[in-house]
Structure 1
């Protein structure tokens, strides 16, 4: 299996190269392997609808530029059509107020959006999971 190094504010994490999740999710998989139960597809799609709606609202208020916003919307549409649902991998029993699932969602959407922008997974200087996908949201609110 091939790997890539994904980096966040806490450091680098070795991630399978074909994975769309990132460093935060990689750590969460190791730390919160409690039940082996992953999120139901309906929960995933509901969460992605929230992320999509936030991107649309952020474009309308000019909080995010059209290029990034449209890439996020496109990524969400791909996931809503059933693609990449297998990338939502954190155990449903995880930290606090669902932070791990929220970040898993942000990372998957960001990496799919990066591909829409013809960038490589993990090139977060172009589109960031927290700064852009999670813009105007809180893990506790989402």
Structure 2
């Protein structure tokens, strides 16, 4: 009788040990999968950053007159806002831009600035954050 009881306890204990072993192996596979995904994402980011950095370096080597032109074009309105006689004209100009310029033009202008000043890597990071936020990825 005691032998049968011990054998029953042994079977129950074996069942729970086997269940724990299966659960541990399942968790181990899940951990390995998550690590593989993390490694792949890290590798992709590193390769993308290296490519963006290379393109930025090439862009910076070929700087010309367009850099100075864009710098003057961008800072002139900011400077003119501090001159009382010109401030109303700047405000009217920005209002006209806001009302009359189509959205695709702003995107095109942003691409020109990104290319000219070599902001590809920064744009890539910002775009990835935006995508993750839109998709709800943390």
| TM-score for both structures, normalised by structure 1 | 0.23
Q: Which has the higher strand share?
A: 1
Higher relative contact order (CA 8 A, sep 6+): 2
Higher-Rg member (1/2): 2
- The structure carrying a bigger helix percent of its residues is 2
TM-score (normalised: structure 2): 0.24
